Amino acid sequence: MLLFREKFPADWLSKVLANLPAVLVDHAHLERKAATSALNLEKYRDLFPRVEELNAIAIEELQHFQLVLALLKQRRIAFGQPYPSPWIAGLMRSVRSGQRQQVIDHLICCSLIEGRSCEKFQVLASELKARDPELAAFYAGLVESEGNHYATYLLMAKSIDDSETNRRLDFYLDLDAKLISEPNPLPMLH
Ligand SMILES: [Fe+2]
Ligand SMILES: [Fe+2]
């Protein structure tokens, strides 16, 4: 289902595994930002008819945020400051202005972020199985939800303008492939 043209760098996994507490704090912020992104999409006229669906996604992301916070508490990891993701900032920088163009680009960016989360959570679920089964199960439990968000955002864009979405998706998949390969030593998921 995922369309990515480039694998995330091979050293991503070792970086994450070596910094799990910091990555969990970053993950908490990622879920918080996913909830606010769903709400931010409600400002577009083309998405007014989808406001309940977007609320449902925001609620789900807020629940994920709560789950990560509970995990932090249980592991005595302090909630802390977020780092900005150069990959997400790079995608968002290419969102064009103007109602119709902006909503399609914004939805594609949200879709790709959800898709990369789905992909990485799947890898973590399998890689953590032996060394941290509880965390592995936690990540496995998020895969389906993030995969659904990926598909929902992409289908929302397509229902607004299918050919424009395909054209911009082609652009964004190339941009993702370029940005994902750039080194990021910070202990972050994206
Ligand atoms: Fe989530
Ligand atoms: Fe999500």
Q: What's the CA-to-centroid distance between 36 and ligand 1, angstroms?
A: 11
- Considering every ligand atom, which ligand is closest to the CA of 67? 1
- What pLDDT was estimated at residue 2? 72
Q: What's the CA-to-centroid distance between 177 and ligand 2, angstroms?
A: 21
Q: What's the CA-to-centroid distance between 151 and ligand 1, angstroms?
A: 13
- What pLDDT was estimated at residue 182? 94
Report the C-alpha gap between 112 and 128 in whole angstroms: 24
- What pLDDT was estimated at residue 3? 86
Q: What's the CA-to-centroid distance between 28 and ligand 2, angstroms?
A: 12
Helix 162-180 to helix 86-93 angle, to the nearest 10 degrees? 140
Classified as helix, coil or strand, 130 is coil
Q: What's the CA-to-centroid distance between 146 and ligand 2, angstroms?
A: 4
Helix 99-127 to helix 162-180 angle, to the nearest 10 degrees? 50
Q: What's the CA-to-centroid distance between 17 and ligand 1, angstroms?
A: 20
- What pLDDT was estimated at residue 1? 55
pLDDT tens string for the chain (190 positions)? 578 999 999 999 999 999 999 999 999 999 999 999 999 999 999 999 999 999 999 999 999 999 999 999 999 999 999 999 999 999 999 999 998 999 999 999 999 999 999 999 999 999 999 999 999 999 999 999 999 999 999 999 999 999 999 999 999 999 999 999 999 999 999 9
**How far, CA to CA in Å, does 109 sit from each of 82, 169, 182?**
20, 9, 18
Contact 117, 189 (CB under 8 A): yes
pTM for the whole thing? 0.97
- What pLDDT was estimated at residue 69? 98
Q: What's the CA-to-centroid distance between 175 and ligand 1, angstroms?
A: 23
Q: What's the CA-to-centroid distance between 145 and ligand 1, angstroms?
A: 7
Q: What's the CA-to-centroid distance between 14 and ligand 2, angstroms?
A: 24
Report the C-alpha gap between 68 and 89 in whole angstroms: 23
